[in-house]
Amino acid sequence: MSHFRYLTAGESHGKCLTAIIEGLPSGLLIDVDFINKELKRRQQGYGRGSRQKIEADTVEITSGVRFGKTLGTPLTLVIQNKDYDNWQKIMSILPSDETDEKSFSSPRPGHADFAGSIKYNQKDLRNILERSSARKTAIEVAVGAVAKLFLKEFGITGSSKILQIKDGKNEEEFHTAIDNAKKNGDTVGGKFEIVFENLPIGLGSFVQADRCLDGKIAQCVMSIPAIKAVSFGEGENAYKLFGSEFHDEIFVKDEKFYHKTNNAGGIEGGMTNGEKLVVKAVMKPIPTLLKPLKTVDLKTLKETEAHFERSDTCAVESCAVVAEARIACVLANEILDKFGGDFLEEIKINYKK
């Protein structure tokens, strides 16, 4: 992203998680309570593990805001890891504190452990786990909350909901599937939907592949480690339909264009078409199992069982919040690209033209 840009840093059991956002205009009201509510949403959901009882995430803003409004300078967000008090020596930056405590060498199938160990030449998989952990998504949700505050200034809002957990398709069936998995020392994944409303026509472009909005959104959702499939609207079922059944016919009323259906999920030719943006994604089951899968110890090269780290049984609801946040960042970037300016009111003037 070239306008709304951010970097995050931090480890799962490190001192804190940090993000720096660049590209925000001056004059944007930053509601810290809203950011903290979004962080709380990420920690909720049936099937979450014990870590959610340890961490009650809140954000601290250390730059880029004065008297509640952005300055147009880089904005820094920090989330403290409360569990760090118990990990200070294990996660120390000092060579003199080196210890084997909490180290492990048996990669978990489905996690970043194995490929990461080969890529970075690490035998202690703690060095891979700490950054590849889903814990880092907390700071991404904080960044996404800032993007949402920007989007709200233009009447653009987002939401998410769970569509399916394993075979279940309603809340009672969701809970049953999660309970059964937990009882068996297993995990479950699921499917969710993200919707953003009131987007203007023409965000994105058909001109070059890397400017297509659906491509940008698919990448940002697909790069959440747990995601294995992304689709738009009814795209996953498109192969079942004739063109006459799938494509959304165009109508006009009072000189305003609209569609009676939204099978395209609000994007045609890589651009928003004025309808709701509808993104669906599938999350795989969490790879850390109470009853571990078979693996190979990277130090001894002997068959063993995978390492168990504190884990959830199901985190689909949390993952949906993360995806929602990431999509908000992409949309904020597109608004800045199309209607950009250095201060909020300037962008609003451009937006209304």
Torsion of CA 161, 147, 10, 182, to 10 degrees: -10
User: Which of 239, 249, 195, 191 lies closest to 217, judged by CA?
Assistant: 195
Q: Helices marked H in 241-352 — which ranges?
A: 243-246, 316-339, 344-352
- The answer as to whether 346 is a domain residue is yes
**Predicted confidence (pLDDT) at residue 154 exceeds the cutoff of 90:** yes
- pLDDT tens for residues 290-325? 888 999 999 999 999 998 877 789 999 999 999 999
The pLDDT score that the predictor gives to residue 318 is 95
The pLDDT score that the predictor gives to residue 48 is 80
The pLDDT score that the predictor gives to residue 54 is 60
Contacts of 7 (CB under 8 A, 6+ apart): 19, 20
Contacts of 286 (CB under 8 A, 6+ apart): 187, 189, 226, 311, 312, 313, 314, 315
In the structure, what pLDDT confidence band is assigned to residue 289 with cuts at 50, 70 and 90? confident
The number of domains in the chain is 1
- The answer as to whether 331 is a domain residue is yes
- State the CATH number of the domain containing residue 306: 3.60.150.10
Structure-model confidence comparison of residues 169 and 232, the more confident one: 232
- The answer as to whether 79 is a domain residue is no
The pLDDT score that the predictor gives to residue 311 is 77
Amino acid at 176: T
The pLDDT score that the predictor gives to residue 52 is 55
Kindly state the average pLDDT of the residues 107-119.
Answer: 95
- The answer as to whether 234 is a domain residue is yes
Q: What percent of the chain has pLDDT over 90?
A: 91
Calpha distance 16→84 (Å, rounded): 8
Q: What percent of the chain has pLDDT over 70?
A: 98
Predicted TM-score of the model (pTM): 0.95
In the structure, what pLDDT confidence band is assigned to residue 203 with cuts at 50, 70 and 90? very high
- The answer as to whether 270 is a domain residue is yes
Calpha distance 216→221 (Å, rounded): 9
**Predicted confidence (pLDDT) at residue 94 exceeds the cutoff of 70:** yes
Q: What domain range is 316 assigned to?
A: 102-352
- pLDDT tens for residues 169-201? 999 999 999 999 999 999 999 999 999 999 999
**Predicted confidence (pLDDT) at residue 36 exceeds the cutoff of 60:** yes
Q: How many CB atoms lie within 10 A of CB 158?
A: 22
Cα-to-chain-centroid distance, residue 317 = 11
- The answer as to whether 194 is a domain residue is yes
**Predicted confidence (pLDDT) at residue 51 exceeds the cutoff of 70:** no
The pLDDT score that the predictor gives to residue 117 is 96
In the structure, what pLDDT confidence band is assigned to residue 55 with cuts at 50, 70 and 90? low
- pLDDT tens for residues 117-147? 999 999 999 999 999 999 999 999 999 999 9
- The answer as to whether 96 is a domain residue is no
- The answer as to whether 195 is a domain residue is yes
Calpha distance 301→117 (Å, rounded): 14
